[in-house]
A and B are shown apart, each in its own frame.
Chain A
Amino acid sequence: MNEIAIRTRDLVKIFKTRRGAINAVNGVTLQVQRGQTYGLIGPDGAGKTTTTRVILGLLRRTGGESSVLGYDSMKDTYAIRERVGYIAQQFALPGDLTVMENMRFFADIHQVDEETQRHRIPELLEFAGLSRFTKRLAGKLSGGMKKKLALACSLIHGPDVVMLDEPTLGVDPVSRREFWDLLGELRTEKGLTIFVCTPYMDEAERCNLIGLMYEGQLVAHDSPEKIKRLVPGQLLEFTPSHFAPAKERLAELEGVLEIQTYGRMIHVFVDHAARRQAEIIRALGDQGITCEGMREIEPRMEEAFISLIRKQQERARAASETAAARSPS
C-alpha cells in the first residue's frame, strides 16, 4: 500500500501567452500522506489552481514530477481520475440538471453500479444536507449548497483522495463552517486524504499540513503550529491614536522585528513582549501618541504568512540586485 497520497518534486508549469511566459508554478515540492488534510494556502494568483490541475493531469506539466497514489499525473491520468474526487474552483456542475440528476450523472460517469448507487446517493445527500432538494436545479441552489452538492458528487465513486479548489469561495461564514465540519467528518470517519486550496488563513488552521504558496513557490511547507513558530519573536497588538507617526517611530525602536498593519490596528513582532510593551508605550507617549488595547497575542497564520512572504520578497530583491551588480552595465 502506497502511504503517500500526493507527491510533487520541483513541479514547474509555464504558460506561454501572447504577452510572454507566465511562470505559474515554479519548483513546487510537496508531499501529502494518506489520511492527511493538506491546505495549499496563498493569495489569488499564487498558482494554487494551476498546481492542482497539473497534479490531476488537467494541464501538461512543464517540468518536475507529480503523482497521486503513486500514479504519474501525465501517464496514468485515468487511473488517477478513477480514484480522486475533484471540485473545480468555479462551481462547475451543470446548473441545468437537478441535484438528483447531477448525482446520477456523476455516478454513471464513474461507473458506479445501480446497486451501489441506490444506497450511496441517499447517504451522500443526507451527509450534505441536500435530501430535501433532490428536485431542485443545481444552478438554483445557494452558494453553500452548491459546494455541498459538488462535494457529494465528488465522493460518489468512493475516492481515496479529494482535491478541492477554493471550495468555500463565495460562501457565507455559517456555510463555510458547515462545509469544513463535513470535511472533518470525512477525515475522521473515512480516513479520506483531503487536499484543499484556499486563500483563507483561518481555514489553514483546520489542516494537518499546509503549504504556503506565493508567486508559484512554496514559501513554507509544514504543520500550522510549526509555520507559526517560523516567525521569530512575540506579537503585540494595539491601536495607536495617530497611525502614521506611530508606525514611523516604532520602526526606529530597538527590539522591533516586524510591523504589520490591519486597518487602524498595528501588529508588531518584538524580541521580548513584556519588556518592549512598556518601552513602546513610553516612546510613543513621548510624542503624544496613546496606545489603545495594547496586549500580547498568539501569532496567527495570517501574521506568519505575511512575514514569510516579506522575507521571500526581500530574498528575491537581494538576488536580483546581486545579479544586476554582477552583470556588466
Chain B
Amino acid sequence: MAFSRQRFRALIRKEFIQLLRDWRTLLSILLIPIVEMFLLAYAVNLTIDHIPMVVADLSQDDQSRALIHALVISGYFDVLQYVDSETEVIHAIDQGQARAGLVIPPGFATGVARGDAQALMMLDGSDSFTLQSGYGAALAIAQARSTELAMEKVSRSGITALGELPIFTSLRILYNPNMDGMVFMVPATAAMLLQVMTMGMTAMSVVREQEMGTLEQLLVTPARPMELILGKLVPNILVAAVDMVMVVLFGVYWFGVPFQGNPWLLGILSLLFIISGLGQGLLASSIAHTQREAGQMIAVLMMLANLLTGFIYPRTAAPLWVQLIGDLIPLTYFLRIIRGIFTKGIGVYFIWQDIAVLLLYSVVVMVLAAKSFKTRLD
C-alpha cells in the first residue's frame, strides 16, 4: 500500500479548512445535541407529568412506601387514592378515574432485601401516550429501586398483557435513588448523538463531494482509497469527540447527572463506537447517490435506533424479533456501556460482552466500508 503522509496531511487540512469555513454547519453540529437534550428533558417532563394513579399497597412497609414515594417525587405520577385490592385498582382505571395503578404485594421489603421484589404496574391502555411514557418512567424508577415491575395494560374490556410477554425487568442494580429522567436520558443522548453525528457527517460529506463533482477531481489524483477514507474520518472523529465531551459536561453540570465511572474508559469505548459509526456512514455513502437519499437512509436508521436499541423504550418490553433487529444496531451495545459507566460507574468486567461485540462490529464495518469505497465513478 502506497500510503503517503503528504497526501494524507493535505486531505486532512482540506477537510478542516472546509469544516471551519462552513461555520454555520459546524455550529449546528455542535449545538443541536445540546438543544436536543433540553427538548428531551422538558418533553419528558411535559408528556408524562402527573399521571393520576391509584395504589393498592398490600405490604405497607418502608420499601413499598419508598417505591410509591419515588414514583411521586419523580413528578411522573400522582397518587389519587389508596385502595385495598387489585380489583379496586382495575376498577378505578376502568372507570377512567385513574390512568395508572400500582399493586404492591405483601412482603415487599423482604423481596427487596432478597433482590427479587415484584410490583404490578397497570396502565390505561386506551391512552397510548400515557401508556408509553408512563411505562418508561415507571420501569426506570422501579429499576432504581431494584424492583421487578410487572406491567399490564388495562382497557375497558379487561386486562391484556402489554406486548406479548409479561414484562419483567432484569436489571437489579441500585443507582440514583432519586431517579429522574435525565439520569436515563443524558448518557443516551450522548450515545445517540455520536451515532447520528458520525454516520450522518461522514455519509453526507462523501455524498456531497460526489454530487458536486469534487470526488471525481479527487479520484483522478494519485490519492489512495485509504488516504481518502482516513482523510474524511479523522476530522469527523475530532468533531464527534468534542460534541461528546460537551454533552457529557452539560449533562453533569447543567442537569446535575452525576458521572460515576471512569471517563477514560468511556472515552476509549466511545472512540470504538465512533469508528463503527463512521464505517456505517461510509457504507451508506457508497449506497446513496444523492444527499437526499443519504438523509433518508440516516433518518430510517435513526428511527430504528430510537425504537429498538433501548434509547427510550426498554428493550425488554419488546417482542423477541424486535430485540433481534435491535441487536444489529451498535447503539444497542453502546447504550448499555455508556449508561453503565456513566450512571453506575461499572468497569470493563460487567460490559466486556458489549465491548467485544462493538469491537467486532467496528472491524467488520470498516473492512466492508473500505472494500466498497468507490475508486471509480461507476
Q: Does A56 contact B (CB under 8 A)?
A: yes
CB <8 Å contact, B9 and A108: yes
CB <8 Å contact, B213 and A109: no
Q: Does A78 contact B (CB under 8 A)?
A: yes
Question: Residues of A contacting B4 with CB < 8 Å?
Answer: 111
CB <8 Å contact, B11 and A109: yes
Residues A90-106 near B (CB distance < 8 A)? 90-97, 101, 104-106
Given A88-B213, A90-B213, A105-B10, also A56-B220 (CB < 8 A): yes
Question: Residues of A contacting B219 with CB < 8 Å?
Answer: 58
In the assembled complex, the Cα of A106 lies from the Cα of B22 at a distance in Å of 21
Q: Does B378 contact A (CB under 8 A)?
A: yes
What 8 pairs across the A-B complex have the smallest Cβ distances? A108-B10, A92-B213, A90-B213, A92-B217, A81-B222, A86-B220, A109-B221, A88-B216
In the assembled complex, the Cα of A59 lies from the Cα of B375 at a distance in Å of 9
Given A58-B216, A86-B217, also A109-B21 (CB < 8 A): no
Question: Residues of A contacting B216 with CB < 8 Å?
Answer: 58, 88, 90, 92
CB <8 Å contact, B220 and A58: yes
CB <8 Å contact, A78 and B222: yes
Taking the closest CB of chain A, its distance from the CB of B15, in whole angstroms, is: 10
Band of interface residues on A: 20 to 34
Question: Residues of B contacting A94 with CB < 8 Å?
Answer: 14, 18, 214
Bits for A34-55, please: 1 = Cβ < 8 Å to B, else 0. 0000000000000000000100
Taking the closest CB of chain B, its distance from the CB of A28, in whole angstroms, is: 17
What are 28 sample pairs from A and B whose C-beta atoms fall under 8 A apart? Answer: A53-B377, A58-B220, A59-B377, A77-B375, A78-B224, A81-B221, A86-B217, A86-B220, A88-B213, A88-B216, A88-B217, A90-B216, A91-B213, A92-B212, A92-B214, A92-B217, A94-B18, A95-B212, A96-B22, A97-B14, A97-B17, A105-B10, A108-B6, A108-B9, A109-B7, A109-B11, A109-B221, A111-B4
Please give 6 more A-B residue pairs, beta carbons under 8 A apart, in addition to A77-B375, A90-B213. A81-B221, A90-B212, A92-B213, A97-B17, A105-B10, A111-B7
Q: B11 — nearest CB in chain A belongs to which residue?
A: A109
Q: A residues touching B (Cβ–Cβ < 8 Å)?
A: 15, 53, 56-60, 77-78, 81-82, 84, 86, 88-97, 101, 104-106, 108-111
In the assembled complex, the Cα of A93 lies from the Cα of B214 at a distance in Å of 6
Q: Does B303 contact A (CB under 8 A)?
A: no
In the assembled complex, the Cα of A92 lies from the Cα of B220 at a distance in Å of 12
Residues B187-230 near A (CB distance < 8 A)? 212-214, 216-224
In the assembled complex, the Cα of A179 lies from the Cα of B7 at a distance in Å of 29
In the assembled complex, the Cα of A78 lies from the Cα of B221 at a distance in Å of 8
CB <8 Å contact, A82 and B222: yes
Question: Residues of A contacting B10 with CB < 8 Å?
Answer: 104-105, 108-109
Q: B378 — nearest CB in chain A belongs to which residue?
A: A59
CB <8 Å contact, A60 and B17: no
Q: A85 — nearest CB in chain B belongs to which residue?
A: B220
In the assembled complex, the Cα of A90 lies from the Cα of B212 at a distance in Å of 8
What number of B residues sit within 8 Å (CB to CB) of A?
A: 29
In the assembled complex, the Cα of A6 lies from the Cα of B4 at a distance in Å of 28
Taking the closest CB of chain A, its distance from the CB of B244, in whole angstroms, is: 26
In the assembled complex, the Cα of A105 lies from the Cα of B8 at a distance in Å of 10
Among B2, B17, B377, contact of A101 (Cβ-Cβ < 8 Å): B17
In the assembled complex, the Cα of A90 lies from the Cα of B216 at a distance in Å of 10
Q: Does B156 contact A (CB under 8 A)?
A: no
CB <8 Å contact, B7 and A96: no
CB <8 Å contact, B378 and A106: no
In the assembled complex, the Cα of A89 lies from the Cα of B377 at a distance in Å of 14
Taking the closest CB of chain B, its distance from the CB of A230, in whole angstroms, is: 34
Taking the closest CB of chain A, its distance from the CB of B211, in whole angstroms, is: 10
Question: Residues of B contacting A57 with CB < 8 Å?
Answer: 376
Determine which residue in B7, B13, B17, B222 has the highest number of CB atoms from chain A within 10 A of its CB, and name it: B222
CB <8 Å contact, A58 and B377: yes
Among B14, B220, B376, contact of A105 (Cβ-Cβ < 8 Å): B14
Taking the closest CB of chain B, its distance from the CB of A96, in whole angstroms, is: 5
Question: Residues of B contacting A88 with CB < 8 Å?
Answer: 213, 216-217, 220
Question: Residues of A contacting B212 with CB < 8 Å?
Answer: 90, 92, 95
Bits for B314-357, please: 1 = Cβ < 8 Å to A, else 0. 00000000000000000000000000000000000000000000
In the assembled complex, the Cα of A92 lies from the Cα of B218 at a distance in Å of 9
In the assembled complex, the Cα of A94 lies from the Cα of B17 at a distance in Å of 11
Taking the closest CB of chain B, its distance from the CB of A161, in whole angstroms, is: 12
CB <8 Å contact, A96 and B222: no
Question: Residues of B contacting A91 with CB < 8 Å?
Answer: 213
Taking the closest CB of chain A, its distance from the CB of B374, in whole angstroms, is: 10
CB <8 Å contact, B18 and A109: no
Q: B20 — nearest CB in chain A belongs to which residue?
A: A96
In the assembled complex, the Cα of A201 lies from the Cα of B375 at a distance in Å of 34
Determine which residue in A60, A94, A96 has the highest number of CB atoms from chain B within 10 A of its CB, and name it: A94
Question: Residues of A contacting B21 with CB < 8 Å?
Answer: 96
Determine which residue in B212, B213, B217 has the highest number of CB atoms from chain A within 10 A of its CB, and name it: B217
In the assembled complex, the Cα of A97 lies from the Cα of B218 at a distance in Å of 14
Among A15, A81, A97, A104, contact of B220 (Cβ-Cβ < 8 Å): A81
Question: Residues of B contacting A95 with CB < 8 Å?
Answer: 212
In the assembled complex, the Cα of A15 lies from the Cα of B224 at a distance in Å of 25
CB <8 Å contact, A97 and B217: no
Question: Residues of B contacting A84 with CB < 8 Å?
Answer: 220
Question: Residues of B contacting A81 with CB < 8 Å?
Answer: 220-222
Given A58-B376, A59-B377, A97-B14, also A111-B222 (CB < 8 A): yes
Taking the closest CB of chain A, its distance from the CB of B367, in whole angstroms, is: 22
Taking the closest CB of chain A, its distance from the CB of B129, in whole angstroms, is: 42
